[in-house]
Structure 1
Amino acid sequence: MFSRQPAGIPEITPDELKARLKQGEDLLIIDVREPMEVVTGKIPGAINIPLSQLPRRLHEIDPEKEAILVCRSGSRSFYAAQFLQANGFSKVKNLAGGMISWDGEIE
């Protein structure tokens, strides 16, 4: 099956992310949707850094932590993951299917 995810941008499924959160892993979840989208709910603990603000807010992201990028469908977060990788962040993953596929808790 064809995947739009080229090599180098790994994905994490919603079920994998839920399991890791349940285990208490300290994950950096970055929601790249616009604030007006995030008010509908976000993954607990996620920080909101809209894709348009990502270049000037890189200093807020710990390059030593695994960063899981989230958006509505997985497209913007994919571009965010590419951008982070291009800027030296090696521990990035894209949430497959984005919030559309997320059926876990929201805050």
Structure 2
Amino acid sequence: MCLVSSLAHSDSQIAFKSLYISYFGRLMRFVSIYVESTVVAEEIVSDTFLGIWENRKSLSEVSNFDAYIFSIARNKCISYYRSKQISTLNIDEIATDLFFYTETTPE
């Protein structure tokens, strides 16, 4: 893809903007399958493009850009759910039955 090589070799902001315009809608639909919120989906897609920009020098090694960008978006979705799971776990909210694994009862 001409835009990808232009971005990789000359840091072209015009090429990056063109990639953004051509992939934004498709990435939003893809990410919306995984996340429930449009705001979160937009954030993940923005993070995906940020990752593309930060790693633009290595884009010349990518043979299938479509697979590459969608893999980044999918991995960002997975990271989102991992961070959400960790941040919402509160030990005080977990109901525990102290006698579940024993034959002993309080009586």
- For normalisation by structure 1, the TM-score amounts to 0.23
- Which has the larger strand fraction? 1
The structure with higher relative contact order (CA 8 Å, sep 6+) is: 1
- For normalisation by structure 2, the TM-score amounts to 0.23
Task: Please say which structure displays the higher CA radius of gyration.
Answer: 2
